[in-house]
Amino acid sequence: MNAPSVPIRLAGVGVTYGRGATAFAALRGITLDIRPGEMTLLLGPSGSGKTTLLQVMGCLLRATTGRVELFGRGVEGVDAEGMAALRLAHVGFVFQHYNLFPTLKAWENIAIALDIKAVPRAGQREMALELLARLDLADRAEHYPSELSGGQKQRVAIARALAGSPQALLADEPTAALDGKTGQSVAAALHDLAHRAGVAVVVVSHDPRVEPFGDRVLHLEDGQLIDDRRPTRSPR
């Protein structure tokens, strides 16, 4: 029996892009559990399969071989609509370039996500403000993205990813476009989310500023998991 409390479970997962002579094995034999309440870092050289693995975890991409479970439910045999429903119910995504709507204020960017989660319009503004406050952005609710710093934009994107209270938050290079301390504060915000809200946070990163915030560090090389460790130093 699989414990339903394991947000994401992969067993022998492989992903092959293309077919025949052009087939390329981007992931091979990945077996791991992603746990709630901690921040897992996914490190590895360029092309090692980090984004591919994150996409499989978030049901954006189907594994070619092996088994993927979200909250105890296997996704093989689930159709595209079912995969979308699983994502919507369980997973939030954060990307390098924020992907905010430039013509919408910070709180409205979050309201759109609440809309997709079928939160009634009447409660959306209040909920968006609460989410912004969790990311220390209460005073930026009425600002447009062009009026926010890079770090603030990324925190709006994180607040948006939390719309609908996902149990897993998957972030692909969330600090890559941020300089100096800003990248660190975004990494700290992700770490706090894992620890305070019990969210399973998975972060793909090349950024050494992010590393001290990882509770667990996975290393990929050539599509294989070559290391899985828990740094002994305390975060920050």
Ligand X SMILES: Nc1ncnc2c1ncn2[C@@H]1O[C@H](COP(=O)(O)OP(=O)(O)OP(=O)(O)O)[C@@H](O)[C@H]1O
Pick the closer one to ligand X by CB: 30 or 159.
30
Residue 155 beta carbon to ligand X: minimum distance, rounded to whole angstroms: 23
Positive or negative, the CA dihedral 170, 173, 177, 178 is positive
Residue 26 beta carbon to ligand X: minimum distance, rounded to whole angstroms: 4
Pick the closer one to ligand X by CB: 93 or 107.
93
Determine if 18 is a binding residue for ligand X (CB under 6 A).
yes
Determine if 7 is a binding residue for ligand X (CB under 6 A).
no
Q: Rounded distance, CA 122 to CA 25, Å?
A: 48
CB 56 within 8 A of CB 63: yes
Residue 185 beta carbon to ligand X: minimum distance, rounded to whole angstroms: 23
Determine if 34 is a binding residue for ligand X (CB under 6 A).
no
Pick the closer one to ligand X by CB: 46 or 146.
46
Mask: binding to ligand X, 63-92, rule CB under 6 A, as x and -?
Answer: ------------------------------
Residue 171 beta carbon to ligand X: minimum distance, rounded to whole angstroms: 13
Count of positions on this chain that bind ligand X (CB under 6 A): 12
Pick the closer one to ligand X by CB: 56 or 137.
56
Determine if 48 is a binding residue for ligand X (CB under 6 A).
yes
Determine if 175 is a binding residue for ligand X (CB under 6 A).
no
**Sheet with 73-74, side-by-side order of all strands:** 24-34, 8-17, 65-70, 73-74
9, 34, 40, 50: residue in contact with ligand X (rule CB under 6 A): 50
7, 44, 66, 183: residue in contact with ligand X (rule CB under 6 A): 44
Query: 16 CB contacts (<8 Å, ≥6 apart)?
Result: 23, 24, 25, 26, 64, 65
**Interface ranges with ligand X (CB under 6 A):** 17-18, 24, 26, 44, 46-52
